[in-house]
């Protein structure tokens, strides 16, 4: 288990310190110079402004230009921050990505200066679109009608449907758009197994077919049935259910398919109090977590088996929860809320080193909530009872690693810490803080923004309205949010 921890830690380190010239302080330094850039309105700039990749670090054309303007590749962070403003200024007049926009215009316009596909959006829009063959820069109901069909039903409307739509007056067209959406979000393409919503969960759940139990299992190593995770995710996104349930649920969700008409299967989801063992999957399908300790998909059997595994302090689990449901990828230096005095390095992994501490001062306090959540470690007893896999285990670290001389401070690991700059007592509080934080709503909306608009949201007033209304008047109903999303200019104006 120490080997695995070392690998995980090593991967994290390589992401942030794989080369001496990858600067964790760069995003914040960039925003010191360009604090009026849209990139800097909600924290440090995205890595993508300068990087084409962060693990291992690689630079786009703009990043290369800035790098070339510095005095060297391996300068200290202090020296880097000293030189950065002048280096940035020296390349402002260049067009690094060759898209006909100077770097400074792009930075101030909110487009990436090292990406020729990213340009200041409004600058290309003509003043008058009435003479064009098709509308650009203005909302087009006809365009949206086809788009709603394609995005939510998975196919284009028929010619006759389109003709009927075009014949409607403007108000009726808008009603028809909402009616089409309402109909399409009940289709298999949207909510069924492997449908559009299901597919959104892939990077959150990170399934591994060879470890699957239950339906569709094919290997002999059947750890867990991650379809339980998909079921909860999809349920949380449909039918006006509370999207926060995905990380707060103390219940489970089962999926069933009505095959009355074999040509048109109808999938439905229902909440249940537990997932019982039984054919065809046996124990691998069960969800053993105590309900009072269950927090949706970040405490599921699959999540704990796969992301905690045999690790005492499962930073990987906390980082994945942070990445999947809050949209912050710590490996990309996102979502850093450093806690004073951290990291303590209870498991003796060397995370106090300067290069590590910059992220671990956020990551470790984020991870403490998992100190008693067990993954695959087993074969020991607690009070005479087997220590449960994928369960909450009182004094887990003491029971399983208490006498490990390589980690003498491990048992001092607290269960409380900080998430998003707020104190929590345990994972139950962790998830409440996270689920009610603006960032959860932003991340939830951004999943659909990327899916439907096709770009990252970055800074967009329409995007801001969507996540604020998701939290507010829509009471975390994704479907209600989608009705607003298809009305945005970002979605409906090509």
Q: How far is the CB of 428 from another protein (least distance, A)?
A: 28
Output 122 or 354, the one with its CB closest to another protein: 122
Residue 165 C-beta: closest distance to another protein, Å: 8
What number of other Cβ atoms are within 10 A of residue 355's Cβ? Answer: 16
Q: Of the two residues 212 and 349, which places its CB atom closer to another protein in the complex?
A: 212
Nearer to another protein (CB atom), residue 117 or residue 273 = 117
Contact stretch for another protein (CB under 8 A) within 200-208, 259-267, 378-386, 402-410 = 200-208
Q: Which is nearer to another protein, 306 or 373 (CB)?
A: 306
Q: Token pair for residue 177?
A: 């758009």
Q: Which of 56, 209, 265, 278 binds another protein (CB under 8 A)?
A: 209
CA angle 474, 478, 484 (to 5 degrees): 70
For position 300 contacting another protein by CB under 8 A, the verdict is: no
Work out whether 221 is an interface residue with another protein (CB under 8 A): no
116 vs 422, beta carbon nearer another protein: 116
Residue 105 CA to residue 102 CA, distance in Å, equals: 5
Whether 205 contacts 229, CB under 8 Å: yes
Q: How far apart are CA 30 and CA 36, in angstroms?
A: 11
Instruction: Please say which residue, 162 or 433, places its beta carbon nearer to another protein.
Output: 162
Contact predicate 82/33, CB 8 Å: no
Distance CA 355, CA 358 (A): 6
Shortest CA distance to 436 belongs to which of 242, 291, 298, 300? Answer: 242
Nearer to another protein, 199 or 473 (CB): 199
Can residue 135 be called a binding residue for another protein (CB under 8 A)?
yes
Structure tokens at 334: 């996102």
First to last CA, the chain: 52
Of 136-144, 232-240, 365-373, 427-435: span binding another protein (CB under 8 A): 136-144
In angstroms, what is the minimal distance from the CB of 136 to another protein?
5
The dihedral built from the CA positions of residue 118, 124, 130 and 133, taken in this order, carries a sign that is negative
Question: Around Cβ 246, how many Cβ atoms within 10 Å?
Answer: 28
| Interface residue with another protein, options 38, 43, 85, 121 (CB under 8 A) | 121
Contact between 127 and another protein (CB under 8 A)? no
Q: Which of 106, 186, 189, 479 binds another protein (CB under 8 A)?
A: 189
Q: Could you tell me the smallest distance in angstroms from the CB atom of residue 71 to another protein? A: 33
**Segment near another protein (CB under 8 A), from 18-26, 201-209, 305-313, 390-398?**
201-209
Round to whole Å and give the CA distance between 372 and 185.
Answer: 39
Cβ 187 to another protein, closest distance in Å? 12
Binder of another protein out of 3, 159, 220, 292 (CB under 8 A): 159
Counting beta carbons within 10 angstroms of the beta carbon of residue 462, is it exposed (0 to 12), middle (13 to 18) or buried (19 or more)? middle
25, 58, 108, 150: residue in contact with another protein (rule CB under 8 A) = 150
Here's the x/- map for another protein, 80-119, by CB under 8 A: it reads as -------------------------------------xxx
**Residue closer to another protein (CB basis): 203 or 350:** 203
**Which residues have CB under 8 Å from 47's CB, separation 6+?**
27, 54, 332, 333, 334
Residue 73: CB minimum distance to another protein, A? 27
Q: At 470, is the secondary structure helix, strand, or coil? A: helix
* Closest by Cα among 393, 391, 427 to 303: 391
38 binds another protein (CB under 8 A): no
3-state secondary structure (DSSP) of residue 494: coil
Which residue number, 212 or 255, has a Cβ lying nearer to another protein? 212
DSSP 84-127: HHHHHHHTTT--TTSSSS-HHHHHHHTS-TT-TT---GGGG--S
Provide the binding-site residues for another protein, judged by CB under 8 A.
117-119, 121-126, 129-130, 132-137, 140-143, 146-147, 150, 154-159, 162-163, 166-167, 189, 199, 202-203, 206-209, 212, 216, 453-455, 490, 493-494
């Amino acid at each position: 288990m120490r080997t695995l921890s070392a690998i995980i830690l090593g991967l994290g380190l390589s992401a942030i310190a794989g080369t001496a010239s990858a600067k964790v302080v760069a995003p914040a330094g960039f925003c010191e110079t360009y604090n009026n850039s849209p990139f800097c309105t909600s924290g440090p700039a995205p890595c993508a402004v300068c990087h084409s990749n962060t693990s291992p670090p690689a630079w786009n054309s703009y990043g290369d230009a800035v790098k070339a303007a510095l005095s060297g590749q391996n300068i200290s962070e202090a020296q880097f921050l000293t030189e950065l403003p002048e280096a940035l200024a020296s390349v402002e007049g260049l067009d690094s990505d060759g898209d006909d926009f100077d770097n400074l215009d792009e930075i101030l316009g909110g487009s990436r200066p090292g990406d020729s596909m990213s340009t200041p959006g409004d600058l290309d829009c003509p003043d008058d679109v009435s003479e064009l063959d098709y509308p650009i820069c203005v909302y087009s109901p006809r365009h949206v009608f086809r788009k709603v069909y394609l995005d939510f039903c998975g196919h284009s409307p028929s010619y006759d449907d389109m003709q009927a739509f075009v014949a409607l007056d403007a108000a009726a067209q808008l009603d028809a758009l909402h009616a089409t959406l309402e109909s399409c979000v009940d289709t298999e393409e949207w909510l069924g197994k492997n449908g559009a919503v299901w597919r959104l969960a892939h990077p959150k759940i990170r399934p591994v077919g060879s470890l699957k139990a239950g339906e569709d299992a094919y290997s002999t190593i059947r750890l867990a049935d991650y379809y339980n995770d998909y079921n909860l995710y999809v349920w949380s996104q449909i039918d006006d259910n509370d999207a926060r349930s995905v990380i707060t649920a103390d219940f489970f969700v089962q999926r069933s398919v009505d095959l009355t008409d074999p040509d048109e299967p109808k999938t439905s989801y229902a909440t249940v109090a537990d997932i019982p063992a039984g054919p065809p999957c046996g124990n691998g399908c069960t969800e053993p977590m105590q309900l009072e300790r269950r927090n949706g998909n970040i405490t599921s059997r699959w999540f704990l088996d796969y992301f905690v595994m045999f690790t005492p302090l499962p930073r990987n689990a906390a980082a994945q929860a942070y990445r999947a449901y809050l949209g912050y990828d710590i490996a990309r230096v996102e979502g850093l809320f450093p806690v004073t005095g951290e990291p303590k390095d209870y498991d003796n992994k060397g995370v106090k080193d300067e290069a590590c501490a910059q992220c671990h001062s956020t990551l470790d306090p984020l991870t403490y909530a998992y100190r008693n959540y067990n993954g695959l470690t087993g074969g020991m007893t607690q009070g005479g009872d087997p220590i449960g896999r994928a369960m909450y285990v009182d004094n887990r670290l003491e029971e399983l690693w208490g006498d490990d001389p390589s980690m003498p401070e491990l048992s001092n690991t607290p269960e409380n810490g900080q998430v998003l700059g707020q104190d929590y007592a345990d994972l139950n509080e962790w998830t409440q803080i996270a689920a009610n934080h603006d960032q959860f709503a932003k991340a939830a909306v951004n999943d659909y923004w990327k899916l439907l608009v096709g770009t990252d949201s970055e800074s967009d007033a329409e995007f801001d309205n969507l996540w604020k209304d998701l939290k507010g008047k829509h009471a975390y109903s994704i479907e209600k949010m989608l009705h607003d999303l298809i009305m945005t200019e970002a979605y409906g104006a090509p």
